[in-house]
Structure 1
Amino acid sequence: MSTPSSVLTDDTRLSRADRLLLRVEALLNLASGITIFALVLLAIANVLLRKFLNAPVPGYIDWTEQFMAIFAFLGLAYVQREGGHIRMDLLVGKLRGRLLWLFEFLSVLFMLLVTTALIYGAWFHFDRSFDWNAPNFSTDSSIDIALPLWPAKLAVPVAFTLLWLRLALQLWAYGRAIRTGAERPVAVPLIEDPAEQANKEAATVAD
């Protein structure tokens, strides 16, 4: 079971765009979860094979490195949508109304600029390892079993691009909230105090 989302929805274009993007984010987040589960199974297999057959999984470290790149990045946009990233809100949590949305707008704008630079760098890093004319399309491979590294490197700019879209949508939402003075705007995670968070988590366990 999951904790109920603090993101409000309605019938506006903004909210429809939010829910459409959420479908993609949720799919990639599911892929991250499946990757973690596969990594756990791989670790179990490696331990058992090493213990009983003295034959560990070939390239275990190589596979682990590939998996880590995938599950570490694919869920970024989903967590941003749900407000799950670590943040310091001692000051922001005390603000209300347009001033709060202005601070949120500026912080998201900063993240958008940083993410734009990260997309460029991550794509350049992927492009250096990918070649249509090379074996396995890769000019870069792992040390042990020569796994092509471009799939894991491609996951990073893809994840950052989706995060960029989420941040752009949140800028739209916060800008709209600043203009209208809405107390509870849609398509953005609303700030919850510790008591509200605890109540949601308790309700999830109770269900």
Structure 2
Amino acid sequence: MSAAASVLSDDSLLSRLDRWFFRFESLLNLAGGIAIFLLVLLATVNVLGRWLLSAPISGYVDWVEQAMAFIAFFGLAYTQRMGGHIRMDILVGQFRRRWLWFTELLTTVLMLLVTLVLIYGSYLHFWRAYSIGDSSLDINLPTWPAKLVVPLALSVLALRLVLQIWGYLRALRKGGDSPVAVPLIESAADVAAKEAGSVSGHDH
């Protein structure tokens, strides 16, 4: 599944937390988009400066390297909530109700464990850069702010995974086909119809 999935809601505490946290994830995703825009603007100024004035931006590569962390990691939790990460649904998509929720729960728990290990490792990487005063090669930009982004963004992802684990446990207990606060698997036809509506401006 690589397109945005449906996420249902109700009046439960889980659903309210999901919607509140989604607003925070959306702000982070917006910040990542702004970083992309600024990087494109920087690239344009650099090209024009080199072409027209023979004066490219000093440390352009250093700035690009620092921006990559913001671009790559700020949208992680948002994409997870929307069910937008690439995965194979050929087998899982055949399951229904409790078998489906059990499988989703298992994979989400495994993902959380991997994320916690990455948080630990990336934090040590940040702390080492901060402690030794690591900087970029050209204009000596400190590298620790970009490296701090990684454990922070992964921590947000971990919280999203905890909410989804809660959602799958609730679905496993109640059964049914409409759990809240988790991305639902959609058929290829549903995804295509949603994407067509998005392009045409007639979402339903």
Same fold judged by TM-score > 0.5? yes
Q: Deviations over 1:96-149 (max 9, x none)?
A: 010000000000000000000000001111111224xxxxxx710000000010
Residue 53 (1) aligns with residue 53 (2):
yes
Query: Normalised by the size of structure 1, how large is the TM-score?
Result: 0.93
Alignment partner of 1:140 is 2:140 = no
Paired residue for 1:173?
A: 167
Write the distance in 1 (CA, Å) between the matches of 2:112 and 2:4.
26
Which of 182, 194, 199 is 2:193 aligned to?
A: 199
Superposed CA RMSD? 1.2
Matched, 1:35 2:35: yes
Write the distance in 2 (CA, Å) between the matches of 1:63 and 1:37: 13
Structure 2 unaligned blocks of 5 or more: none
Q: What code does the residue aligned with 1:188 have?
A: V
CA contact (8 A) 2:4 2:84 kept: no
Which aligned segments of 4 or more residues in structure 1 are displaced greater than 3 angstroms? Answer: none
**The residue matched to 2:86 in structure 1 has which SS?**
coil
1:196 aligned partner, one-letter code: D
1-side partners of 2:128 and 2:176: how far apart?
Answer: 46
Give the equivalent residue in structure 2 for 1:91: 91
Q: How far apart, in 1, do the equivalents of 2:4 and 2:145 lie?
A: 33
Using the alignment, how far apart are the partners of 2:181 and 2:138 within structure 1?
Answer: 45
Question: 2:25 maps to which residue?
Answer: 25
Deviations 1:21-78 (A, max 9, x none): 1111001000000000000001111110111111111000000000011110011000
Distance in 2 (CA, whole Å) between partners of 1:34 and 1:92 is 35
Query: 1 CA distance for matches of 2:20 and 2:143?
Result: 31
One-letter identity of the residue aligned with 2:188: P
Report the Cα offset of residue 205 of structure 1.
2.0
Aligned length: 199
| Equivalent position of 1:103 in the other structure | 103
Helix, strand or coil: the match of 1:160? helix
Distance 1:7 1:115 in 2: 22
Instruction: Measure, in 2, the Cα distance between the counterparts of 1:68 and 1:8.
Output: 33
Partner amino acid for 2:51? K
Q: Aligned ranges for residues 109-188 of structure 1 at < 5 Å?
A: 109-131=109-131, 139-188=133-182
Mapped to 1, the partners of 2:199 and 2:156 lie a distance apart of: 31
Match of 1:72 in 2: 72
Q: Counterparts of 2:4 and 2:104 in 1: how far apart (Å)?
A: 22
1:14 — aligned with what? 14
Runs of 5+ unmatched residues, structure 1: 132-137
**Deviation sequence 1:147-197 (CA, Å, 0-9, x none):** 010110010000000000000110000011000002110101100111101
The equivalent of 1:135 in structure 2 is none
Shift of 1:5: 5.4
